[in-house]
Each structure stands twice: as C-alpha cells, then as structure tokens.
Structure 1
Amino acid sequence: MLGEEPVVFEATVPTGTYRRTPDWLHLYRRELPAGSVGEAWDLPTTSPALTLLDCVAVSAGDAADRLVDENLRRRVPPQEVADLCASGKRGTAAMRRQLREAALDFASEPERLFARALARRGVHMFPNESVGPYVCDFVDKASRTIIEIDGREFHSEPGVFRQDRRRQNSLLLDKWLILRYAAADVFGRLDECADEAAAVVLRRRRQLRHRRSR
C-alpha cells in the first residue's frame, strides 16, 4: 500500500472486465502489459510503478504530489515509471509532470514543499547534499548556492545555534551563498520564498557561466 488506508478501494483490471461492484469499490480498466501484474496476499496486483501511475491519474493537487514524493525511489524505481510514461498510457502526462517536479530524498515537510516549489520554477536542487564536511538542505553547485530551511525548535538549541554560525562562516569564506528560510515562512509564504530563491540561483548561474567563459 502506497498511502493511507482508503475509505474507497480502487482497483485496476484488464479491459473487457465488467463486474457489478459495491459503492466502496471503483474499478479502472486498462491494458495490462506483460510483467505489470504480480501477486500479494494471494491476490493479483499491478506493479508498484503501474500502481503509482494509476493513482496519479485519478488524484490531484497535494494528494498526488505527496503520494509521489513519499514513494518514488523509496518504493518505486523512477526509471520504471519513466518507461511506463514512454508508452503513452492514460495518466502519463500527469506522471511526466510529477517526474519533473518530484521532491526526492526530502527529510522534512518544509523541504518537500520547497523542493517542489523550486522545481516548478525550473530550479532543481539536490537535497541533503554534502559540501565538504557539512550536509546542507539544498545545494546548487552550478551557482554555489546553499538553501537552508530552519525549524525554530531545532536550530534555536544553544549548541546547534553555535554550530550553525561556525558552519555558515566556513561556507561563506569558501564563496558559497547561503539563503536561509524559516520553516514557518515555507508553510505560510511558500511562493514568495521560492520566487526569491529561484531568482537568486538562476542569476548566479548566469554570472558564474559568464565569468568562466571570459
């Protein structure tokens, strides 16, 4: 199961299958290619990749985003989903967008939301990436930009606060730009924060490319 236990059960069945069903069971019919059906608990099941594709096809908004973010790579190989998208099945347009915008390897809900917001603006940054001895929330090496999402309950602890200052000084001296956003602002002012961060990253990418080309 990829998400929370549902009130309504939805199932994928081969085309040509017709059954009267109770109100709590919805059937979706599609061609099932070889290798896309397995077995669990003595029941035939679609592969995780096809299951995710089908779920995205009938979901919308944050429900679909969260389902993809929580399962892609962790439970479902991205390449298998990409291969299904190449087949042009129902739902592949929405799934292609999900593959472009998915927040992979996020460690917190603010990180997940911020990664998606950046991706929608054409900025894909690696989360939880190492820069020297430090692990940073988001890293863009092309622009030498680091983005940190700070939760007050963690970063205000005295020892963590002092370590953050030493860490930030070290990165700044190594010519990294560090943008910091409070988790509360990510929840309350996501678009404003993401607009600012994306603009900075794209501008610094252009500037560094120009310097290297001279």
Structure 2
Amino acid sequence: MKKTLYTINTVNNFMDIIYKPFGEPFKEQTEGLEIYNIMDDSLLKETLDNGGVNADVCNRMLNYAQAAQSSGADAILTTCTSVNEATKYIKKFIHIPVMNIEEPVADMAVENGKRIGILATLPTSPAAIGRVIKEKAAEQGKEIELLNVVVDGAFNVLCSGDRERHDQMVCEALYKLSEEVDVIAFAQISMSLLKHDEVKVPIYKIGTSGFKKIYSMMK
C-alpha cells in the first residue's frame, strides 16, 4: 500500500545534508513510499535569534503540517532538532503521526549510557535534544548525566561549503568528549556525515533511524 511522508526542513541545503544521504536511499529501499519535502530556513534563523522556538515558529510549522495533512500525508517528520518543541506542540492539532528525527537517537543514548555526551554545532541543539533524552530517561526510570559541547562556528563553515574544515572542527571536540562519557549523541543531522576516526564509545547519529521510526508509525 502506498504511503506518503512529508518532511519539514529548516536549512536551505537540506537536499545535500538530509534528503539525498538519508531520505532518498530510504525511499528507494521502501516499496510504495513517497517523500515530499517542505523547507523554510527562516524557522531556524528565528529560533537561533530567540534562543529557542517562539509562537511564530510554532504557528508556521503548524501551517506546514496542516498543509501536508491536507495534501494526503500519512506522517510528518521534522528534521531539525532545534525546533522539536514546536513539533511537540503541533502534534496536538494533527491527526497523523508527527515526529522529530532525533527521537531514536535519544532512545539509544539512554538505553546504552548513563553519562551522555551531546555534541552540537548550534547553540540551541543541546537543550533541544537534551529535553528529549531526559524524557526518555524518565520513561525508563533511569538516572542520567548530560555533558554538552557546542563547536561554535562549525555550522556556518558547513553552510559555506567547507565540509573538510567543518569535520576538522567537530572531530577535535568529538575525540576529547569521547574520553569523558559513556556514549555520544550527535545533536543535529547536519553532523551525521562527519568523517572521523573510531572512538572508544558508541556514537548515535541522526538520520536513517528517524526515517525508519516514522515509517513504522505510518504502518
């Protein structure tokens, strides 16, 4: 049976860092799945400017979700960690599954570690994924400790097209963080194509796991 997934994206290079490496392969491997993408990069800019989501961001995302639902979507996947509070809000008004893409990463981090490192390149991301991790830990009755690291400037470097420099900046922080925690959760899908050496602790990256989970919710 045909299923239709809509994604909501907040960066204008989402085709290169989200859809082509993760969404398109998943679509090709999943019979009957169609994926459509909505992009509004003002959502992330406004979230960063305000240090978190505000009412305007929530309202615009709700409008996009309602449009997707009206267009025949069977589910909606938000691909930006920083706006996950807005995703949680719009679930109340949408009658199909709605999820933020980092949820499976939060699950895996809680299941496999107590001292959890969160690595990010945007200042709003650690708090956003941290809320999800804490919720998962509470559901499991597990005490955890979070250690947040933000690689300032790396996201802008990536958006400028210099992936090599981005990877160098993030790897430096990654190797240091790996010595201090049980597991590491990458806070953004934009980091998931990072080229790095092997480290001693598990690293959970946002991407395919999110597409798999929202598809299971569609079924």
- Per the TM superposition, whether the score is higher than 0.5 is no
Q: TM-score, normalised by structure 1?
A: 0.29
TM-score w.r.t. the length of structure 2 is: 0.29
Q: Which has the higher helix share?
A: 2
Q: Which has the larger radius of gyration?
A: 1
Q: Which structure is richer in relative contact order (CA contacts within 8 A, separation 6 or more)?
A: 2
